[in-house]
Chains A and B, each alone.
Chain A
Amino acid sequence: MEMRFVWQHIYLVSVSCVFTTIFGLLLGIFAYISKPARSVILWLVDILQTIPVLALLGLIMIAFGATSTTVIIGIVLYSLLPIVRNTYIGLENIDPGIKEAAQGMGMTKLQRLFKVELPLSFPIVFTGIRIAIVTSIGTAVFGAVVGGGGLGSTINRAILIQDMPTLMQATLTLMAMAVFFDIVMGYIEKRLKTR
């Protein structure tokens, strides 16, 4: 197993997670603010999740070819759901008394969002990000099919030539990666929620 593929995998996951977080937050906030947009956004991220990963990557490949861009876009779309949902739910479920106080104190909509509502919903948003990252480690494996590289390539090749030790190694590495991220982020999450 070449280390190159491990780094490539991590690269795919981290780049796409930066983008999912950004888009997910924006969409979640938008769904919270705008009632008409809400149903559309929540419906859309739900639908995205129901498309099989391979089919989704195939569709994107038509536009972007067999590159890592295709894989990153695929992962981003596929892991939007937990972040959008958690952002929306987190914002929606803030104690109405706190929201009313913020409004009554004379905060503008944006001040309310950034000084009160987002900080308060952040632990829940963070849980969404954690789920997104951990699942995208798995999703990225499919990236090999559309030429994105990563550990998916290693596994593919190992299966083709029946190289069991490499297959084992790659799989264990993936698992270790997922567990590592999950534990670290779980720890941060716990710290966030105790306040």
Chain B
Amino acid sequence: MIVYENVSKKYNDVTVVDNLNLTINDGEFVVLIGPSGCGKTTTLKMINRLNKINEGNIYIDNQNILDVDAVELRRKIGYVIQQIGLFPNMTIEENISVVPRLLKWSKEKCKQRVHELLEMVNMPYEENAKKYPNELSGGQQQRIGVLRALAAEPPIILMDEPFGALDPITRDALQDEVKALHKKLHKTFIFVTHDMDEAVKLADRIVFMSKGKVLQAATPEEMLNKPEDPIIRNFMGKLSYSRYCNDLTCADVMKKRILTVLETKKTLESVELMKHKEIDSIIVVDHEDKFKGIVTIQNIREHGKAGETISRITESNVDTVSVSTNAKDAFDKLIETNVDYLVVLNPDKTAAGIITRTSMTKALASVVWGDAE
């Protein structure tokens, strides 16, 4: 368990990390995210003491990291950086076994471990171990970077934007691999990124930072649904809606500008109104604004007489849904019943809006291409 206790860090007079309190549990995959300069990398690098702590303490398993020799500490913490940082003068095998060799593992044990690790990422030992880093592609180099961090089986792995410099396809593949490694190895991963997609994909818990403070620490699901700060909402952009379409309700997808008439209106008035707005049906409400039904132009033509109130010919037996109904259910209903639209009702039975086929198309489009609004 890693515990930050009132941790602050200043560069000259600029506060980079401001009285941070955070607890990271064993085996958790925590992603630190935020706009640049929010202090996420500094927060990460304080764990292996590459950055000094000005105030406060960090404890790993109840031991203050300042009480441990920095070199000893780092050998027990895996570290992957954006620039990859493989040693060009060493072979892949030597690169992977750097920390085990520092820890004076036997030669056989080192070799066996390198075998094991290369196999884990499907890079056969015979083909790759004796190569030098510059003979590998960027993606493969970073795979080795990850293996190097894992080599001495540290319980904690720190990753500082490890996939930032890779092309999107390679990045995607490596994210999958890292996620799989985390599932398999049950180590604590602390991962810094500024890419919300990456965070959502990898994290058990996302810690959103801004100006050296934690704005929200929550599961990806929770953060997407209930971002606690406008900064977070902005940062996530379209991600929040589109990805979690299962949680869309009728209120999110309905058309809000609807036309209603009082049930005491006369037929001719209503026909005029419909003509004017170029629609062929209208929602009828009573004096308290409660939904009564709908009137179509056909109803009026067939049964209506001039000068009559429309309440007589209002069709009250129409399909309605509530604002809190899941949008997917509403769409299903719309398709099944083959009506032109569904009326959406507020809890107090007033009309809130309608769902048409167009609203359905729009909602689907926003899932596929992102929210246009």
Q: Measuring CB to CB, which residues of chain A are less than 8 angstroms from any residue of chain B?
A: 95-98, 100-108, 111, 115-116, 119-120, 195
Q: How many A-B residue pairs have CB under 8 A?
A: 65
Q: Measuring CB to CB, which residues of chain B are less than 8 angstroms from any residue of chain A?
A: 48, 50, 71-76, 79, 81-89, 98-99, 102, 132, 148, 158
CB–CB A120/B85 < 8 A: no
Residue in B74, B81, B86, B87 whose beta carbon sits within 8 Å of that of A106 in the complex: B74
Residue in A97, A107, A111, A195 whose beta carbon sits within 8 Å of that of B85 in the complex: A97
How far does the alpha carbon of A105 sit from the alpha carbon of B158 in the complex, in Å?
Answer: 11
CB–CB A98/B88 < 8 A: yes
22 A-B pairs within 8 Å (CB atoms) are namely A97-B81, A97-B85, A98-B87, A100-B50, A101-B81, A101-B84, A101-B85, A101-B87, A102-B87, A104-B48, A104-B81, A104-B158, A105-B74, A105-B99, A106-B71, A106-B75, A106-B99, A107-B102, A115-B87, A119-B89, A120-B88, A195-B132
The smallest C-beta distance from B135 to any residue of chain A, in angstroms, reads 11
Residue in B50, B82, B83, B86 whose beta carbon sits within 8 Å of that of A103 in the complex: B50
How far does the alpha carbon of A3 sit from the alpha carbon of B84 in the complex, in Å?
Answer: 56
CB–CB A106/B102 < 8 A: yes
- Of A103, A106, A107, which is in contact with the most chain B CB atoms at under 10 Å from its CB? A106
Given contacts A104-B81, A106-B74, contact A111 B89 (CB under 8 A): no
Q: Which 7 A-B pairs have the closest CB atoms?
A: A97-B83, A101-B85, A106-B75, A106-B74, A104-B79, A97-B85, A119-B89
- Of B48, B79, B85, B99, which is in contact with the most chain A CB atoms at under 10 Å from its CB? B85
CB–CB B83/A104 < 8 A: no
* Chain B residues positioned under 8 Å from A111 (CB to CB): 102
The smallest C-beta distance from B90 to any residue of chain A, in angstroms, reads 8
Chain A's closest residue to B103 (CB) is: A106
Given contacts A103-B50, A105-B99, A195-B89, contact A95 B72 (CB under 8 A): no
The smallest C-beta distance from A193 to any residue of chain B, in angstroms, reads 12
How far does the alpha carbon of A96 sit from the alpha carbon of B82 in the complex, in Å?
Answer: 11
How far does the alpha carbon of A104 sit from the alpha carbon of B70 in the complex, in Å?
Answer: 10
CB–CB A105/B83 < 8 A: no
Chain A's closest residue to B94 (CB) is: A115
Given contacts A111-B102, A195-B132, contact A104 B84 (CB under 8 A): no
